[in-house]
């Protein structure tokens, strides 16, 4: 690993650190170390880093802003690549928007709403980035990323870059083909449509106010823990069971929304996992519904 670390530094791919605590890079502030942690300076640095890791047979995975992510207390194997400022850009091309995967969603929604572009209001309260939105098909208030996306540029493990259409990305409810086929979204192209600027801005503010009122936006959490078992909603099933505020160690079900687990202080990943299993068992026993996690759980290879 030392040789790979030195090679990454020599190639000037961006910031490279060893044994980086991933708790510093997740919104729930939980997670053990990554032996190698890479923040590419740009697309070229990202491609070079992936090629170096491939040649050295070092396993890797990419993260964005660390929402919808729970990292095991023991950390992960290999390398973690953080898609951030080096891929945070946007440009307007007629009725299209080309944007880097590291661009955060909240500023994006604000920028587009002020310019009178409709459709992105739902992203105004999502604490993620464009790459994560494509990866998860992020959505809210009846809208999803796939509704606006035209195509996305993907970096595959063999170092090749390829544009994939919306259809090729295989979107579903909070899923995409990228969750089964390793690859990094490096940029995306969205369609733009003009609307009533004042109405768009008002909708954005209403969505943000709703999130602030009903979700623990100001607490350490990983976003929605469970996928909604449509037509039911995970949060309502949990709340109807009287589980709001229930805690295991430092992990607690939010008092504001049943589908959020917050780090109330000193929570470990194991606390969160134990609480997830407790909720799943209770909901299964009472409603006969198997809740599936939406939050992505990262562990060392071979760990259960």
Which CATH number covers residue 44?
3.30.43.10
| Domain shared by 106 and 24, yes or no | no
Do 67 and 95 share a structural domain? no
Helices and strands of the chain, counted as H and E runs: 7, 17
The position carrying tokens 């459709």 is: 119
Calculate ∠ Cα 269-275-276, nearest 5°.
Answer: 90
| Separation CA 142–CA 237 (nearest Å) | 20
Are 141 and 160 in a shared domain?
Answer: yes
Q: Is-contact 12 41, C-beta < 8 A? A: yes
Last residue of a domain, one of 49, 65, 82: 82
CATH code for the domain of 287? 3.90.78.10
User: Which of 199, 234, 252 represents a domain boundary (last residue)?
Assistant: 199
The tens-digit pLDDT sequence of the chain (304 residues) is 899 999 999 999 999 999 999 999 999 999 999 999 999 999 999 999 999 999 999 999 999 999 999 999 999 999 999 999 999 999 998 899 999 999 999 999 999 999 999 999 999 888 899 999 999 999 888 889 999 999 999 999 999 999 999 999 999 988 899 988 888 999 999 999 999 999 999 999 998 888 889 999 899 999 999 999 989 999 999 999 999 999 999 999 999 999 999 999 999 999 999 999 999 999 999 999 999 999 999 998 865 5
Please confirm, yes or no, whether 294 is among the known catalytic residues.
yes
CATH number of the domain where residue 95 is located: 3.30.465.10
176 and 275 fall within a common domain:
no
Q: Which of the residues 121, 224, 254, 299 is marked catalytic?
A: 224
Instruction: Pick the catalytic residue from 20, 121, 294, 299.
Output: 294
Our count of domains for the chain comes to: 3
Domain boundary among 66, 82, 98: 82
What's the domain range around 101?
88-199
Residues 188 and 113 both lie in one domain? yes
Q: 60-63 and 79-82 as β-strands: parallel, antiparallel, unpaired?
A: parallel
Residue 206 counted as domain residue: no
- Beta bridge partner(s), residue 247: 252
What is the sign, positive or negative, of the torsion defined by CA atoms of 123, 126, 131, 136?
A: negative
Concerning whether 224 is annotated as a catalytic residue, the answer is yes
Q: In what order do the strands lie in the sheet with 221-224?
A: 221-224, 260-263, 251-253, 247-248
Does one domain contain both 62 and 153?
A: no
245 domain-assigned: yes
Residues 6+ apart with CB under 8 A from 86: 14, 39, 40, 41, 42, 43, 45, 46, 102
Strands 96-100 and 14-21: unpaired
The whole-model pTM stands at: 0.93
- Judge if 244 and 188 occupy the same domain: no
Annotated catalytic residue, options 65, 153, 174, 211:
174
């Amino acid at each position: 690993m030392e040789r790979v670390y030195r090679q990454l530094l020599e190639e000037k791919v961006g910031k490279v650190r060893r044994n980086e605590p991933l708790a510093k890079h997740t919104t729930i502030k939980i997670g053990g170390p990554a032996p190698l942690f890479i923040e590419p300076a740009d697309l070229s640095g990202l491609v070079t880093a992936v090629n170096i890791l491939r040649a050295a047979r070092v396993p890797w995975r990419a993260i964005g802003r660390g929402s919808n992510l729970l990292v095991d207390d023991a950390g992960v194997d290999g390398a973690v690549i953080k898609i951030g400022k080096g891929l945070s850009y946007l440009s307007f091309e007629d009725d299209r928007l080309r944007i880097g995967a590291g661009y955060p969603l909240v500023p994006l929604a604000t920028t587009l709403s002020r310019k009178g572009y409709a459709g992105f209001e739902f992203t105004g309260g999502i604490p993620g980035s464009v790459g994560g939105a494509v990866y998860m098909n992020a959505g809210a208030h009846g809208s999803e990323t796939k509704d606006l996306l035209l195509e996305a540029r993907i970096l595959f493990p063999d170092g090749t870059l390829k544009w994939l259409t919306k259809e090729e990305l295989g979107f579903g409810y909070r899923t995409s083909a990228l969750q089964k086929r390793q690859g990094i979204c490096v940029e995306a192209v969205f369609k733009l449509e003009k609307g009533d600027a004042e109405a768009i801005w008002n909708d954005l503010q209403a969505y943000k106010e709703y999130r602030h009122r009903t979700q623990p936006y100001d607490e350490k959490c990983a976003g929605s823990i469970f996928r909604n078992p449509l037509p039911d909603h995970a949060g309502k099933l949990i709340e109807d069971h009287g589980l709001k505020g229930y805690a295991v160690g430092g992990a607690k079900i939010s008092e504001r929304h049943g589908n959020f687990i917050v780090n109330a202080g000193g929570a470990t990943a194991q606390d969160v996992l134990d609480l997830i299993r407790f909720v799943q068992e209770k909901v299964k026993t009472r409603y006969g519904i198997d809740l599936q996690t939406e939050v992505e759980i990262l562990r060392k290879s071979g760990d259960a």
